[in-house]
Chain A
Amino acid sequence: DIQLTQSPSFLSASVGDRVTITCRASQGISSYLAWYQQKPLKAPKLVIYTASTLQSGVPSRFSGSGSGTEFTLTISSLQPEDFATYYCQQLNSFPRSFGQGTKLEI
């Protein structure tokens, strides 16, 4: 099974900051990585797929990069609505797996 490790697990930032979250896979997953945003008591929302493709309707301040085993999610200028927990997920092989999450706090 493929393990995904996110860093950091907690991130404190301010409105307007640029932040980067990293996701490392235990083996190569090509570009089959997605990022999700989850707010309290809500279902996860797709932000980025195939490592760097922005989901329709997601603001362009979100971007993703990477391939193989190391990936990043960057938010260029944090807005109040961006404070949430972010998860990476691999869809290269079964079982699908998620990172442990990164909680982005004000």
Chain B
Amino acid sequence: QLQLQESGSGLVKPSQTLSLTCAVSGGSISSGDYSWSWIRQPPGKGLEWMGYIYYRGTTYYNPSLKSRVTISIDKSKNQFSLKLSSVTAADTAVYYCAREVLGSGSFDHWGQGTLVTVSS
């Protein structure tokens, strides 16, 4: 059964870079049938899609995050990662990684989420 697990620092200082990794188990991140996304949710608020990566390295980022976000993939470790630079308190959120099934229009598997707090 496919599982996604986020890991990384839960506390980041303002202006620094947030770094998270999503480990994928029970399936290959190199499958051409899926893409891999990061989605976040500020406390008490709705969901925001941040960006995605395809196994070949193709990425697309939400323009709302401008040039602050970078998503990378490590096929040898079956994981993908998120970096968000110049963080502020507004970046405090639960961060989820998720798998999108290409063509079916859905995120069918999600990680449990990890809370990242931006505070000095």
Most buried by A among B63, B96, B104: B104
- List A residues 55-106 near B (Cβ within 8 Å): 55, 87, 89, 91-92, 94-101
How many residues of B sit at the interface, in one of the four size bands? Answer: 20 to 34
B49 touches A98 (CB 8 A): yes
Is the Cβ of B112 less than 8 Å from the Cβ of A43?
A: yes
Question: A1 touching B47 by the CB < 8 A rule?
Answer: no
* Contact count band on A: 20 to 34
In the complex, whether B34 has a CB less than 8 A from a CB of chain A is no
A22 CB contacts on chain B under 8 angstroms: none
Residues of A within 8 A of B48 (CB): 98
> A43 vs B100: C-alpha distance in the bound complex, in angstroms?
15
List residues of chain A with CB within 8 A of the CB of B112. 42-43
Known: A43-B113, A44-B47, A91-B100. A96 touches B106 (CB 8 A): no
Q: Which residues of the partner chain A approach B111 to less than 8 Å between Cβ atoms?
A: 43
B contact patch SS: strand
Please determine whether A43 and B96 come into contact, CB atoms closer than 8 angstroms: yes
Q: Is the CB of B37 within 8 A of A95?
A: no
Instruction: Give the Cβ gap from A50 to chain B, nearest Cβ, in Å.
Output: 5
A91-B47 contact given A1-B63, A43-B112, CB 8 Å threshold: no
Chain B residues whose CB sits within 8 angstroms of the CB of A92 once the complex forms: 105
Are A98 and B46 also in contact (CB < 8 A) when A43-B96, A49-B104, A91-B105 are?
yes
Q: Which residues of B contact A97 (CB under 8 A)?
A: 49
Tell me the bound Cα distance from A44 to B113 in angstroms: 10
What residues of A have a CB within 8 angstroms of the CB of B37 in the complex? Answer: 96
- For the complex formed, measure the closest distance between the CB of B54 and the CB atoms of chain A, giving whole angstroms: 12
A interface residue numbers (CB < 8 A to B): 1, 31-34, 36, 42-46, 49-50, 53, 55, 87, 89, 91-92, 94-101
